[in-house]
Each structure stands twice: as C-alpha cells, then as structure tokens.
Amino acid sequence: MSEGLFSIEGKTALVTGGTRGVGEMIARGFVEAGARVYISSRKTDAGEETAAELSKLGTCVFVPANLSTEDGCRQLATEIGAMEPRLDILVNNAGANWGAPLSQWDDAAWDRVLDLNLKGVFHLTRYCLPMLEAAGTPDDPARVINIGSIDGLHTPRMETYSYGASKAAVHQLTRHLAWRLAPRVTVNAVAPGPFESKMMAATLREFGESIVASAALKRLGRPDDMAGVAIFLASRAGSYLTGAVIPVDGGIATLA
C-alpha cells in the first residue's frame, strides 16, 4: 500500500524563484526525487548556473521570467506550455521583501512586494491552469504549492509591512483557489520560518540567536526540511490535502 507513496518520479514541475533560497531547496529536492524541473528567475546568469548544477543530478531547465507583471506571468506559462503539454506541480516561490521605517513607506514600496508576492502568484496560477488541469485527475490532482511565510501568521519583528501582509494574503488566496480548482488541482501553502537564504540574511544577522532560541526545535531550517514538505505535498501522500497552510518553522508560529 505504501509503495510509491512519496514518489514524484516522472512528474513535471515548475519552481519560480528556483535559483536560490527556499526555491532552490525545493527544486533540488524535486530533481533528486526524479521529477523534470523547470526553474525561473529574473537573473539569467544565476538561473543558468543553478540549472547546470542541478542537471548533474537529473533534469533541470532554466526559463527567465519577470513575474512581477501579468505579461511576465503569461509569457512564462506560454514558454512552459510550448515545451510541456501538462504540468503536474507548480511551486509559486518567487518573492521580494522590503523593510524601512514607517515614515518612508509609499506606494512604490508596497507595489514592488505585492506585485510579485501576491499578484504574481495569482496570475501565474491562472495562466498555468490549462496545463495543470490537463495533468490532474480527481484521484491524482495536479498540485499548486504557494510559498507563504510565518510572517503571515504572526507579527514580524522588522518593519517589513508589505511582506507580512502579502504572505497573509497568499495564505488566504491559497484557501480560495483550493475551493475553485478542486478536484483536478490541489492548492496548499508552505509557511517557512527561518532558513538560511539571501532574503533572510539581514534578519538572521540581527536576530539569529533569538530566533533560534524562540523555536521549539532550537535550530534553523535545513534544505531537506523544505524539500521534504514540498515532496510530500506533490506526491500521492499529499493528494487528499488542499487549502492547508503548513508552517515549517521549528514551532515558532505555534508558540508565538
């Protein structure tokens, strides 16, 4: 009964922002698990470098994209659709952060985060939907995995107002889309806590020791922690789960 329960071998996945941080952790885990993985990023050099590295482990293809615009989302979906008639897994990970004192916030500071973190998730999912529905069945749905944050579950310590708000909105969008896209597509969110990444670097420099101390498990997240939950959601083991927001944070959000 358990044979192949956590297998994603042979599936096709798109991981946005897959060149570094959480996205690279998930992309690497998928490649190692036998999936055919496409990664996207605005930075061509970083994308090609990551794809070349992951291609040593399996199949990984880089497609450049700017997902902060609707046209960029449409273009990426079109390029993937030209190569793949079906898409089993979409990981909406591409994101941005911004922090500044309250007095310095303006519309531009909000737009640069919300356009990518929230609107990009919505538009890319919408444009990839035909490929997802072609891959999914009620017994084995296609999967959308949105990357939220524990900053959308509890109050952030830093003045990153748009980031926390965008991630809380991603969690709600996840629940909304889960109802709309069932039963051929499941939609779940992962809310990462502290993982070592470029986006988290400043926070960890300033608050690293206290963050670790506040976690029930007393450590930062590791790449396998992130890859593991994504593989679970993408595999048969996660086929009856939709509309969920899963904190992967060592217990921080639970205790906050």
Catalytic residues: 163
**96/164 Cα distance (integer angstroms):** 11
Q: What does the block give as tokens for 23?
A: 């996205």
**250/217 Cα distance (integer angstroms):** 5
What would you report as the CA-atom Rg of the chain, rounded to the nearest whole angstrom? 17
Q: What does the block give as tokens for 46?
A: 């970083």
Task: Give CA separation, 240 vs 59, 81, 136, 174, 199, in Å.
Answer: 28, 27, 13, 15, 32
Ramachandran area for residue 218 (φ above 0: left; ψ -120 to 50: alpha; else beta):
left
